[in-house]
Structure 1
Amino acid sequence: MSTADIPTRARIGVVGTGKIFPAYAEGLAWIGGLPIVRVADVVVDVARRQAETYGIPAYGTAEELYADPDVDVVVNITPPVVHAEVTRAALAAGKHVYSEKPLAATVAAARENLQQARDAGRLLGAAPDTFLGNSGQSARAAIDDGLIGTPFAATSFVRSSRVETWHPNPAFFYAPGGGPLLDWGPYHLSALVNLLGPVTEVVGATSIPTPRIPVTAPDRVVDAVDVTVPTHTTSLLRTASGALVTTVLSFDIWDTTLPHLEIYGTEGTLQLPDPNHHDLPVLIKQRGDEEWRELPPVLPATRDEGLRPFRGHGVLDLVQALEGAPHRTTGQFALHVLEVLEAMEAATFEKGVQTISETCERPAPVARG
């Protein structure tokens, strides 16, 4: 059966047609049943070109998209600083909304969005959704099945994305709404909450080792950018289950041999790949083992390996929730992750332990198949 033969489950409108848009266009097409019927961008000509490229029937302004009765779900992939504004307008127009990460640039704005969705009786979901893939779900199954005993600790490590070497104007990566915490942090924290449950306390410190970053991208439009948010962070998180998580999220560490994520249990260790990937293998080494071994995947392939990057499972998750299934990438989940990241960014030695007020349910595992 081709994707054209799959019945429509919901009609999608996308606000924002920049660099990440092709990942959604191709990912939703591969999933099937979620046709993009309209796109919008602050530069309408950009929306027109993307509509022509992907065979999307309508394009225009965001206001036109909100008013379109053919749009059931709005996918918000605008810059983080306007996530809250776009979500607010889409909810006011009666649409369900799925937002790229983070849910908003601040916890206060995210809370307002979530309350608006509740008042309107609409679903609000948010990225990242990559923990729904095989890596995240295979690790989750191993923990739930007791393969590493009781998880008591974890590590999370992010090195520089080297954005200044490939992005023509990376200023927003080093401004409020950016930095390693809001760029990479949502992937790691969402993966950790999926595996270990919500976070209750945060302690840590941050720094800005290089206040001005030279831009070396071949097509750069600026030669350097000022850094106004922490670019090196070290934190210790305590989860509701009592597990302690050590994190180093940095744009200043140029390279490392440390793994992205490891989970330590009383009977073994799990090593996870970059959580931005869906189907790479998870390694396990149980007490007494001489060698690491790969966990068997618990799901069929959750993405087309020919498409990099790939997005869309969170949109499907929201649509399935509208049909009565568990909602895993909820606005409340994203709000909790954002509050933890905001606390990590504000952490200082003097401030000491910060208590997280927003919590969430540990997402239901995806049914194995």
Structure 2
Amino acid sequence: MIRVGIVGASGWANASHLPALAGLDEYAVTAVATTRRASAEAVAAAHGVPHALTDAAALVAHPEVDLVVVSVRAAGHAAVVRAALAAGKDVLSEWPLGVDAAEAEDLARAAEAAGVRHAVNLQGHWSPDARFLADLLAAGRIGRLEAAVLVAAGDPLGGARIAPELEWSTDPAGGTSLLTVMAGHFLAVLHRVAGPLVEVSARLPGAREHVEVTGTGRTVPNGVPAHLMLLGTLENGAAASVTVHGGSGTPDGFLLRLVGSAGTLTAIPATPGSYPHWTDWEIRLDGEPLEVPADYRTVPFHPADGPVANVAALYREFAEAAAANRPPHPDFRTAAAHHRLLAAVERSAATGTPQEV
């Protein structure tokens, strides 16, 4: 049994990590921490967690915690991760791992030096649909992959308005933006399906000097991009085109098209208005629907339920890695490499020139 403590247990963790862990026999959540006593106690009571704390350091040091889950704002990830490593605890961090590629690389090196297991919640790597498409490509079902096209909505980031609870994300120093979070997750899905990008030419158009804070009548300075336009080359030489458009409302879904020398695979969300790393996909091969085999689903959840299923699949991978005494995937080294991709996107947008990843 892996005993879990979650730092930043309200919000996203309350909606995804805690329900995911509740459905897995390999885990028991033993402690939660938030910055306010009332919220920590409310989360603990709702999920039957014995210890409600207001101090991340106390949670990290708690003797009943084996795995520290870091689900605070991105700018706070490094401090909690380093504390967990210093305590010799395994650690699973939300994405992005750090505020930039340099911080992510430092955390990856520190985790390797500490000799603990470490993982990052790029849950799209464990999407059953993404894994199924990757296997179809590897089996040559559409011949040689020649082009990959991904168009996806990045709401609620990148729009003319921002929700009050996300107001802080307009500051690029916070590490949370349409590029790092939404495009970061979407590009990880593309990587899982079609392999890594090795060169990118990108633009980050539509940046707004100010955005409105919904329902307040206020505007705040904005330093983060509104959209991503990317042309690139995959490791196998195939062309890639990625567009992520920002917005202020409910996302309108995504389209993934894989064009091969002998056929075409397409995927759209089976549940409208969903992100590719959260939901199940409607997959077609040359226009004909394909069903994802049942053995691709490794947890007692279904992606139609939202983000819980793929988060749970990542936790199951972590437990299996622990049982086999091997590193889980994706780990901090994977995360650092993904941060380098985003850094290459930013360099290309700033210089107007293609960049190697």
Q: CA 1:254 to 1:78, structure 2 compared with 1: closer, same or farther past 3 Å? A: closer
Distance 1:70 1:258, change over 3 A: closer
Matches of 1:330 and 1:232, distance apart in 2: 28
| Helix, strand or coil at the partner of 2:60 | helix
Aligned position for 2:330: 329
Indicate the residue corresponding to 1:317 in structure 2: 317
What is the letter of the counterpart of residue 199 of structure 2? E
Q: Between Structure 1 and Structure 2, how many residues are aligned?
A: 340
Q: Distance in 2 between matches of 1:307 and 1:255?
A: 17
Alpha-carbon shift at residue 301 of structure 1 (Å):
6.5
Relative to structure 1, is the Cα distance of residues 112 and 326 closer, same or farther in structure 2, using a 3 angstrom cutoff?
A: closer
Q: Secondary structure at the match of 1:208?
A: coil
Q: 1:46 to 1:249 in 2, by over 3 A?
A: same
- The corresponding residue for 1:17 is 9
Note the C-alpha offset of 1:40: 1.0
2:26 to 33, 46, 51: 33
State whether structure 2 residue 105 is matched by structure 1 residue 108.
no
- 1:147 Cα shift? 0.9
Going from structure 1 to structure 2, the CA distance change for 1:52 and 1:140 (only over 3 Å counts) comes to same
Equivalent position of 1:59 in the other structure: 52
TM-aligned CA deviation for residue 127 of structure 1: 1.4
**Alignment of 1:342 onto 2:343:** yes
The separation in 2 between residues aligned to 1:99 and 1:77, in whole angstroms, is: 7
- 1:289-335 CA deviation, whole Å, 9 max, x = no partner? xx332233352474524843313322332232122256321212111
- The 5-angstrom pairing of residues 292-307 of structure 1 reads 292-297=288-293, 298-300=295-297, 302=299, 304-305=301-302, 307=305
Higher strand share: 2
Q: Is the 8 A contact 2:170 2:222 kept in 1?
A: yes
* Structure 2 counterpart of 1:110, one-letter code: A
Q: Deviations over 1:26-81 (max 9, x none)?
A: 11111232111111122233212101111101121111111112211111111111
Single out whichever of 272-281 and 15-24 deviates more from structure 2.
Answer: 272-281
What is the identity, as a one-letter code, of the residue corresponding to 2:19? E
- Quick one: structure 1 residues 349 and 227, their matched pair in 2 at CA, closer, same or farther if it must change by over 3 Å? closer
TM-score by length of structure 2 reads 0.87
Measured at CA, do residues 222 and 100 of structure 1 come closer, stay the same or move farther in structure 2, by a change above 3 Å? farther
Aligned to 1:44: 37
Q: Which runs of 5+ in 1 are unaligned?
A: 1-7, 286-290, 357-369
Mapped pair 1:260 → 2:255: yes
Two-structure CA RMSD over aligned residues (Å): 2.5
Preserved contact between residue 103 and residue 110 of structure 1 (Cα < 8 Å):
yes
Does the CA contact (< 8 Å) of 2:70 and 2:80 recur in 1? yes
Note if contact 2:154-2:182 (Cα within 8 Å) is conserved in structure 1.
no
Distance in 2, matches of 1:131 and 1:283, equals 20
When residues 36 and 65 of structure 1 are mapped into structure 2, their CA distance, relative to the original with a 3 A threshold, is same
Contact persistence 1:279–1:303 (CA under 8 A): no
Matched residue, 1:87: 81
The DSSP-based 3-state class of the residue aligned with 2:282 is coil
Name which of 109, 114, 126 aligns with 1:132. Answer: 126
Local SS of the residue matching 2:102: helix
CA distance in 2, matches of 1:35, 1:279: 27
CA contact 1:168–1:222 (8 Å) conserved in 2: no
Shift of 1:104: 0.9
Is the Cα–Cα contact under 8 Å of residues 206 and 347 in structure 1 kept in the other structure?
no
Kindly indicate whether the alpha-carbon contact (under 8 Å) linking 2:146 and 2:238 is maintained by their aligned counterparts in 1: yes
Equivalent residue, structure 2, for 1:188: 186
SS at match of 1:161: strand
Contact 2:198 2:235 in 1 (8 A): yes
Structure 1 residue aligned with 2:150:
156
User: How has the CA–CA distance of structure 1 residues 256 and 300 changed in structure 2, closer, same or farther, with 3 Å as cutoff?
Assistant: closer
Partner residue, 1:4: none
Q: 1:304 to 1:255 in 2, by over 3 A?
A: closer
How far apart in 1 are the matches of 2:202 and 2:162?
A: 30
Amino acid aligned to 2:346: E
**Counterparts in 2 of 1:193 and 1:162: CA distance versus 1, 3 Å:** closer
- 2:21 is paired with a residue whose SS is helix
The alignment's TM-score, normalised by the length of structure 1, stands at 0.84
Match of 1:362 in 2: none
Q: Give the Cα separation in 2 of the matches to 1:93 and 1:221.
A: 43
CA distance in 2, matches of 1:303, 1:326: 23
The answer as to whether partners of 2:152 and 2:244 remain within 8 angstroms in 1 is yes
**Percentage of matched positions with identical amino acids:** 24
- Give me the whole-angstrom Cα distance separating, in 1, the residues matched to 2:290 and 2:92: 33
CA distance in 2, matches of 1:253, 1:57: 38
Q: Which runs of 5+ in 2 are unaligned?
A: 270-274
8 Å contact 2:8–2:33 — kept in the other structure?
A: yes
Q: 1:110 to 1:247 in 2, by over 3 A?
A: same
Shift of 1:90: 1.0
Distance 1:333 1:265 in 2: 27
Write out aligned runs for 1:266-305 (5 A): 266-272=261-267, 273=269, 274-285=275-286, 291-297=287-293, 298-300=295-297, 302=299, 304-305=301-302
Residue type matched to 2:296 in 1?
Answer: L
